[in-house]
Amino acid sequence: MQTNLKQSDISMTSTKNRSAYIAEVLTEALPYIKRFKGKTIVIKYGGNAMSDERLKSGFARDVVLMKLVGMNPVLVHGGGPQIGALMERLGKKSEFIDGMRVTDSETMDIVEMVLGGLVNKEIVTLINQHGGNAVGLSGKDGELIRAKKMLFKRNSPELNAPEIIDIGHVGEVDSIDKSVVDMLIQGNVIPVIAPVGVDESGQSYNINADLVAGKLAEVLEAEKLIMLTNTPGLLDANGNVMTGLSVKEVDKLVDDGVIYGGMLPKIRSALDAVNSGVVAAHIIDGRVEHAVLLEVFTDLGVGTLIQGRKKRAKKS
């Protein structure tokens, strides 16, 4: 069968289809841009999105675009693989207990070097290269994050009471002084925060980035908490992504053991945030290019939405 279509006709058709698609995407994004203008969105950045060059570049552009259309993105980043890699080069073995890194004084020095230096500055540089205005902070700067030692408890069938294990300089958030972040937001700056805190005596602590992001979303009264992961989101027994979940539904999933392991800290932080007034928490797939934009600006999104009790998020 012969066709009379010329190459120029095919190219024109392709161009028209692409233009229509772009216009549709922009039109779909408009109400979300209007709704979230001036709102603070806390993003926990980690996983594959921090190690794949293409994803890193796309994430930086996403954050810059959010700022340009009037949103206030605030980033909290992890850096576990980078810490592990440097420890290996230095001949120091990484040790974990139930997913928590055992952090002695020497390891804490490495953590601060990697999180507050190498990783933080790389993210800041990447955002600035894509037209943003980012500033990097450690939680120690301006006593942004006041920490306290985490008492790690583990149930043991041989003991009548939970076993308390000392995992070193691992902390939890005691309080956050949001004035530093507020000042940066008002100055049209994108804050990039390393999850290291300090206690009253000046002792440094390594804090789970999910916990820091959740607590920061609370104190900033953020509209959204977005956590990038290496999974599509929360999955049901059949491997399907669950979304539009209430706090009660998520609590039941935890009780039933559907949510377990490394996802638990993220879920607990998300639940604490929405229970404290954050409108919605999102667990999204950071392996998807432009995942943040797709979640914020489109109807379908790319992950799991957990809706707060105080206000219901319209977006699924």
Segment 163-181 shows an average pLDDT of: 89
Question: 273 or 96: whose pLDDT is higher?
Answer: 273
Residue 42 near residue 221, CB atoms below 8 Å: no
Both tokens assigned to 237: 């027994």
**Which residues have CB under 8 Å from 29's CB, separation 6+?**
297, 298
Identity of the highest mean pLDDT range in 3-12, 177-186, 306-315: 177-186
What pLDDT is stored for residue 268 in this prediction?
87
What pLDDT is stored for residue 129 in this prediction?
96
Instruction: Please give the C-alpha separations between residue 167 and each of 108, 246, 312, in angstroms, as whole numbers.
Output: 11, 34, 39
What pLDDT is stored for residue 308 in this prediction?
77
Transcribe 35-91 into DSSP letters: HHTT-EEEEEE-GGGGT-HHHHHHHHHHHHHHHHTT-EEEEEE--HHHHHHHHHHTT
What pLDDT is stored for residue 262 in this prediction?
73
Q: Mean pLDDT lowest for which of 138-147, 239-248, 284-293?
A: 239-248
CATH of domain 32-307: 3.40.1160.10
* DSSP-derived 3-state class of residue 193: strand
Residue 212 has pLDDT above 50, yes or no: yes
Distance CA 77, CA 196 (A): 10
Residue 18 has pLDDT above 80, yes or no: no
72 beta partners: 40
Q: How confident is the model at residue 157 (pLDDT cuts 50, 70, 90)?
A: low
Both tokens assigned to 280: 């919605």
Distance CA 143, CA 179 (A): 10
What pLDDT is stored for residue 1 in this prediction?
41
Both tokens assigned to 122: 């790389």
Identity of the highest mean pLDDT range in 20-24, 189-193, 256-260: 189-193
Which runs of E-coded beta strand occur in 78-158? 96-97, 100-101, 134-138, 145-149, 152-154
Instruction: Please give the C-alpha separations between residue 56 and each of 74, 127, 201, 290, 310, in angstroms, as whole numbers.
Output: 16, 10, 37, 9, 34
Distance CA 101, CA 80 (A): 9
What pLDDT is stored for residue 312 in this prediction?
42
Sign of CA dihedral 199, 202, 203, 205: positive
What pLDDT is stored for residue 50 in this prediction?
87
DSSP 240: P
Transcribe 251-297 into DSSP letters: HHHHHTTSS-TTHHHHHHHHHHHHHTT-SEEEEEETTSTTHHHHHHH
pLDDT per residue as tens digits for the range 117-154:
999 999 999 999 999 999 999 999 988 999 999 887 76
Distance CA 74, CA 189 (A): 9
What pLDDT is stored for residue 10 in this prediction?
44
pLDDT per residue as tens digits for the range 61-79:
999 999 999 999 999 999 9
How confident is the prediction for the chain on average, in pLDDT? 85
CA max distance for the chain: 83
Q: Where are the domains of the chain?
A: 32-307
The pairing of beta strand 163-165 with beta strand 170-176 = unpaired
Residue 316 has pLDDT above 90, yes or no: no
